[in-house]
Amino acid sequence: MNKIRVRFAPSPTGPLHIGGVRTALYNYLFAKKNNGTFILRIEDTDQTRFVPGAEEYIKKSLTWLGMSPDEGPDQGGEYGPYRQSERKELYARYAEKLVDMGYAYYAFDTPEELDKWREAMTAQGVHSPKYDHSTRLSMNNSLKLGKERALEMINAGVPYVIRLKVPENETIVFNDIVRGTVKFNSNELDDKVILKGDGLPTYHLANIVDDHYMKITHVIRGEEWLSSTAHHVLLYRYLCWDDSKPQFAHLPLLLKPVGKGKLSKRDGAKFGFPVFPLSWNGDNPEDNFTGFKEFGFLPEATINFLALLGWNPGDDREMFEINELIEAFSLDKIVKSGARFNIEKAKWFNQQYLLGKTDKEFVELILPYIENADFEYEKESLLKIAKLMKPRIELLPEIVDKAKFFFTDDFDFEEKIVRKKWKSPNNEHVIEIRNKLEGIENFDKKSIETIIKGYIENNNLSFGNIFPLLRVAVTGTTKGPDLFETMEILGKNKVLSRFDAAFDRFERIVS
Ligand code: GLU
């Protein structure tokens, strides 16, 4: 069997949507599983949609996720160049060849004429007018005018495009690894433009010429390209490339978390979660997006989450590191139905991967946030804080709020609990506990625990009345990590001064 070669072929028209990242991932996994080649091809033939920085963004995203291409614009390779704009001549040659063979034709209709024509057709009750077998002979093209006249016009400099001549009344059949046999009636297909007025190919022509030249064995891409595949199948046939035609696998759509339809870039802003791997700054504020990375997701969690959006290993297992994914991956386990984008699940994965980090690794991860918040810290206590906070963090930036009290006295109190509990005799007991803590020589969690628990038990007090007040006094919140360990990390002086400041604030709150 030929060596497996797959390509991820994004168009640099903006930031790479997370659905595109999943396509890249499945291509990557399939290549690695089969000792194949993972190729990055930049499909930049649509000059009108070209966005500066997008190619860079795509590459950075792949790097962040650890999916480096084996061949691509930066890596090079035997089948380059890997940017379509650098392969222009190749496509034009094939477009002309198709015209010569009678499978394509020159068309001179201007965009204005086409708009008018569409309007007129719609007025006559045609729902979505198509340039196809039923209408092509009434249009301004070489089929209607004759080839000679068409060439005269071309020589005279009249702008033209080349369109594929889709046959009438044919069932176009192809096999899709995910969907099985797929059939299209050729009467439903339009005569797609394959070469544009600017001499550049459209996606359809460039895509199949490159897949052929780059010896692509499997085309793995989003479901939105399924109907284009019918056109591609015709192109393969007309160019006599049927024998080397790749196999197709169309991936299910990513669906909105709730309701109907495809996950869109606007859903991110709407629901407050990322739909792009990295942050992106567009021309307008509504085109600024925060990425998975900047939301605080780890690359390995992002990968694990995406891998299971549309593929399953055949059992209940959920945790897969990249090597395990490569081992387990197969195209026949890709599901047909759309996959709902559930950000809570992504967070869960992130938490699992955070829990798998050593305390030291976790420190490295949170350090940028701590520094960015201008928190002062001692290296040693950071390790202890990391250990305590690790199980309490889903997304890295949460560390700033959740661990704030380790670094600064400037935090809010949960006033409700103070109002409810700061009264006699609770308050006298809390003050008494503070004084007992002052007497501890070796201020470690064991001694702290012995003092506090001992006091509560010996005086037959209810934990529920005392403990929340101790917590709020020291950390501002009732929801923090283990209080005894927290106190040990803060140290005796800090804990006592927190108590003293808190008693004043408590009084003010209840008065
Ligand atoms: N350039 C297309 C895109 O942006 C590639 C589709 C394909 O993989 O064939 O998604």
pTM (two decimals) = 0.94
When pLDDT is cut at 50, 70 and 90, the band that residue 270 belongs to is confident
Pocket test for ligand 1, best of 7, 11, 87 (most atoms within 8 A of CB): 11
Q: Are residues 99 and 170 in the same domain?
A: yes
Q: State yes or no: pLDDT of 84 exceeds 90.
A: yes
More confident residue, 283 or 59: 59
Instruction: Provide DSSP, 336-368.
Output: SS-EE--HHHHHHHHHHHHHTS-HHHHHHHHHH
The answer to whether 229 and 251 are in contact (CB under 8 A) is no
Quick check: 383 pLDDT over 80? yes
71 within ligand 1 shell (Cβ under 6 A): no
User: No. of H helices and E strands in the chain?
Assistant: 22, 11
Question: Which pLDDT score is estimated for 207?
Answer: 97
Interval between CA 15 and ligand 1 midpoint (Å): 14
Q: Is residue 1 scored above 80 in pLDDT?
A: no
Average pLDDT, the chain: 96
For ligand 1, whether the C-beta of 11 sits within 6 Å is: yes
CA of 211, closest atom in ligand 1: 9
Among 319, 342, 365, which residue terminates a domain?
342
Rg (C-alpha) for the chain, rounded Å, is 32
Residue of higher predicted confidence among 268 and 96 = 96
Closest protein CA for atom 3 of ligand 1: 10
> Do both 424 and 391 map to the same domain?
no
Report the nearest atom of ligand 1 relative to the CA of 20: 10
Let me know if residue 162 belongs to a domain. Answer: yes
Stretch 162-174: mean pLDDT, rounded?
A: 98
What's the 329 CA to ligand 1 centre distance in angstroms?
22
Give the residue-averaged pLDDT of 420-440: 97
Which CATH number do you get for residue 372? 1.10.8
Q: Is 8 in the pocket of ligand 1 (CB under 6 A)?
A: no
CA dist 37 and 6 (Å) reads: 6
User: How many other CB atoms are there within 10 angstroms of residue 496's CB atom?
Assistant: 17
- Asked, for residue 409, whether it belongs to a domain, the answer is no
Same-domain check for residues 367 and 461? no
Summarised one tens digit per residue, pLDDT across range 35-53 is 999 999 999 999 899 999 9
Distances (CA, A) of 266 to 11, 17, 18, 279: 19, 11, 12, 14
Residue 407 domain-assigned?
A: no
Average pLDDT over residues 337-356: 96
**Does 211 contact ligand 1 (Cβ within 6 A)?**
no
Atom of ligand 1 nearest to the CA of 228: 9
3-state secondary structure of 107: strand
Q: For residue 449, how many C-alpha atoms fall within 13 Å in the half-sphere facing its CB?
A: 8
Are 186 and 258 found together in one domain? no
Taking the CA atoms of residue 66, residue 72, residue 78 and residue 79 in that order, the dihedral angle to the nearest 10 degrees is 130
Which span out of 254-258, 276-280, 374-378 was modeled with the highest average pLDDT?
A: 276-280
Confidence bin at 290 (pLDDT 50/70/90)? very high
Residues 360-386: what's their mean pLDDT? 95
Q: Which active-site residues does the annotation give?
A: 265
Residue 80 domain-assigned (yes or no): no
Verify that 186 and 270 share a domain, yes or no: no
Residue by residue, DSSP assigns 412-479 as: ---HHHHHHH-STTHHHHHHHHHHHHHT-SS--HHHHHHHHHHHHHHTT--HHHHHHHHHHHHHS-SS
* Placement of tokens 């168009």 in the chain: 11
Q: Are residues 332 and 363 in the same domain?
A: no
Is pLDDT above 80 for 105? yes
Q: Please report whether residue 237 resides in a domain.
A: no
pLDDT at 259 over 90: no
- Ligand 1 centroid to Cα of residue 328, in Å, is 25
Which residue range(s) make up the domain with 171?
88-206
The alpha carbon of 224 and the centre of ligand 1 are apart by a number of angstroms equal to 9
Same structural domain, 273 and 337: yes
Q: Kindly report, residue by residue over 69-78, the tens digit of the pLDDT.
A: 999 999 999 9
If asked whether residues 120 and 199 sit together in one domain, one would say: yes
Residue 163 host element (H or E): strand 161-164
Helix (H) or strand (E) holding 173: strand 171-176
Q: Looking at the domain assignment, is residue 59 inside a domain?
A: yes
Q: Say if residue 183's pLDDT is above 80.
A: yes
Ligand 1 binding pocket includes 252 (Cβ within 6 Å): no
Q: How far apart are CA 95 and CA 335, in angstroms?
A: 36
Give the pLDDT band of residue 286 (cuts 50, 70, 90): confident
Centre of ligand 1 from the C-alpha of residue 241, in Å: 20
CATH number at residue 419: 1.10.10.350
Q: Say if residue 410's pLDDT is above 90.
A: yes
Beta bridge partners of 59: none
The pLDDT of residue 266 is 87
Whole-angstrom distance, CA of residue 353 vs CA of residue 349 = 6
Residue among 278, 219, 220 at smallest CA distance from 18: 278
For the record, the structure tokens of 156 come out as: 């005279």
Q: Is 248 a pocket residue for ligand 1 (Cβ < 6 Å)?
A: no
**Is 200 contained in some domain?**
yes
Mean pLDDT of 226-231: 96
Ligand 1 in contact with 203 (CB < 6 A)? yes
Q: Does residue 476 sit in the same domain as residue 453?
A: yes
Clarify whether residues 261 and 177 are in a common domain: no
pLDDT at 285: 87
User: What distance in Å separates the CA atoms of residue 386 and residue 397, rounded to the nearest whole number?
Assistant: 13
CATH code assigned at 112: 3.90.800.10
180 plus 264 within the same structural domain: no
Q: Which helix (H) or strand (E) holds 118?
A: helix 111-123
Residue 60 has pLDDT above 80, yes or no: yes
When pLDDT is averaged across residues 458-463 and rounded to a whole number, the result is 96
**pLDDT by residue (tens digit) across 113-156?**
999 999 999 999 999 899 999 999 999 999 999 999 999 999 99
Q: How far is the CA of 208 from the centre of ligand 1 (A)?
A: 11
Number of domains in the chain: 4
State which ligand 1 atom lies nearest to the alpha carbon of 220: 8
Say if 377 falls within a structural domain: yes
Same domain membership, residue 143 and residue 117: yes
